[in-house]
């Protein structure tokens, strides 16, 4: 989806969901401000504290939002990682596992600037906008049991008392489980307004420990469910050209996915501090699943993979990674 299309649909959704008036004005202002800014040709990652969590018994840490203003998809947010200066950051324990703590509100008294990503509170956990996408036309088929209805009202200045069950910053909408997925990992917002479907996936990737790729990618049930795969160059992705190319080599993909399950997790923060996003040596891999969900993975030339906003990279076995990487040529 192009940015102008997104803005149009997002405004329409916001207007229809009956949000808090102050929140509605704020969202529209942000969109208008983004439109006024000239988009850079190169990705720029802006670290900004984001407001997330607590009040429902959550022991939650601050996190930094990596806002890629050069290219974005739904919600305009592409990266989230813990602050290096705050307690509770994702880190490596003695066994080599990555511990991703729950999210928490930053201290508003510190005067830190705040931006928010789309979020829903469900069963004492915070679900953020997923890196797995669905088209509106396919959402109904994936809709499972109704879990409740969100309340709006969370914004950058919300206190812990606002983080109650099904609180959100997406207005009022119904929340469902997703067929074929564990609701402890993935849920769906779904609304039909004047015959038009508005649906979004939200995933729970904080407050968990990752020992290998299987602890994250296993939740997506990739094995045996991929119907097609495409990839996109960094230049196309960065400039919003959406020039994806079919991935013809099924053998290289199969080997890569097997290796991905066993991949070694690495904390995101040190790699980001070292400038991993300064390099354009990246490719985007899109996996179309049999249920029409689409999983997006970012591959880095040094043999690393990242999924969505989880503050963790995965180091994939080099031969399998390189075979797939080399097959992605124009």
Q: Which of 2-11, 24-33, 50-59, 204-213 has the lowest mean pLDDT?
A: 50-59
Give per-residue pLDDT as tens, 229-246. Answer: 999 999 999 999 999 999
Q: What is the pLDDT of residue 107?
A: 54
**What dihedral do alpha carbons 203, 206, 212, 217 form, nearest 10°?**
0
Neighbouring C-beta atoms of residue 94, cutoff 10 Å: 5
Q: What is the pLDDT of residue 330?
A: 79
Q: What is the pLDDT of residue 244?
A: 95
Kindly provide the residue ranges of all beta strands, DSSP E only, lying in 173-281, ordered along the sequence.
174-178, 186-193, 196-203, 208-210, 226-233, 244-246, 264-267
User: pLDDT grade, residue 200 (50/70/90)?
Assistant: very high
Q: What is the pLDDT of residue 42?
A: 31
Rounded to whole angstroms, the maximal C-alpha distance in the chain is 54
Query: Residue range 193-214: average pLDDT?
Result: 95
Tell if the pTM clears 0.75, that is, is over it: no
Give per-residue pLDDT as tens, 315-326. Answer: 999 999 999 999
Q: Which of 65-74, 130-139, 302-311 has the lowest mean pLDDT?
A: 65-74
Q: What is the pLDDT of residue 103?
A: 76
Q: Which two tokens mark 248?
A: 């013809």
Closest residue by Cα to residue 115 from 148, 147, 146, 72: 72
Query: Residue range 176-182: average pLDDT?
Result: 97
Q: What is the pLDDT of residue 90?
A: 66
């Amino acid at each position: 989806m192009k940015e102008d299309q997104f803005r149009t649909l997002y405004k329409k959704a916001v207007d229809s969901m009956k949000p808090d008036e102050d929140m509605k004005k704020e969202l529209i202002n942000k969109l208008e401000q983004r439109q006024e800014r000239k988009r850079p040709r190169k990705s720029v990652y802006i670290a900004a504290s984001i407001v997330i969590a607590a009040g429902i018994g959550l022991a939650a840490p601050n996190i930094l939002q990596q806002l890629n203003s050069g290219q974005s998809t739904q919600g305009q947010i592409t990266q989230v990682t813990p602050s290096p200066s705050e307690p509770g950051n994702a880190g490596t324990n003695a066994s080599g596992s990555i511990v991703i703590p729950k999210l928490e509100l930053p201290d508003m008294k510190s005067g830190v600037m705040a931006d928010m990503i789309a979020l829903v509170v469900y069963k004492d956990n915070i679900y953020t906008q997923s890196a797995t996408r669905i088209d509106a036309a396919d959402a109904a088929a994936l809709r499972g049991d109704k879990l409740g209805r969100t309340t709006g009202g969370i914004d950058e200045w919300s206190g812990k008392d606002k983080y109650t069950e099904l609180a959100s910053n997406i207005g009022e909408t119904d929340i469902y489980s997703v067929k074929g997925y564990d609701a402890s990992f993935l849920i769906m917002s779904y609304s039909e307004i004047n015959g038009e479907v508005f649906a979004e996936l939200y995933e729970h990737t904080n407050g968990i420990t990752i020992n290998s790729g299987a602890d994250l990618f296993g939740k997506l049930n990739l094995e045996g469910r991929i119907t097609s795969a495409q990839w996109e160059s960094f230049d196309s992705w960065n400039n919003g050209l959406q020039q994806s190319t079919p991935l013809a080599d099924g053998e290289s993909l199969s080997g890569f996915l097997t290796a991905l399950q066993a991949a070694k997790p690495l904390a995101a923060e040190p790699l980001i501090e070292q400038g991993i996003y300064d390099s354009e040596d990246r490719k985007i891999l899109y996996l179309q699943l049999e249920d029409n969900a689409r999983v997006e993975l970012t591959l880095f030339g040094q043999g690393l993979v990242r999924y969505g906003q989880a503050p963790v990279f995965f180091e994939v076995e080099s031969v399998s990674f390189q075979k797939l990487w080399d097959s992605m040529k124009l």
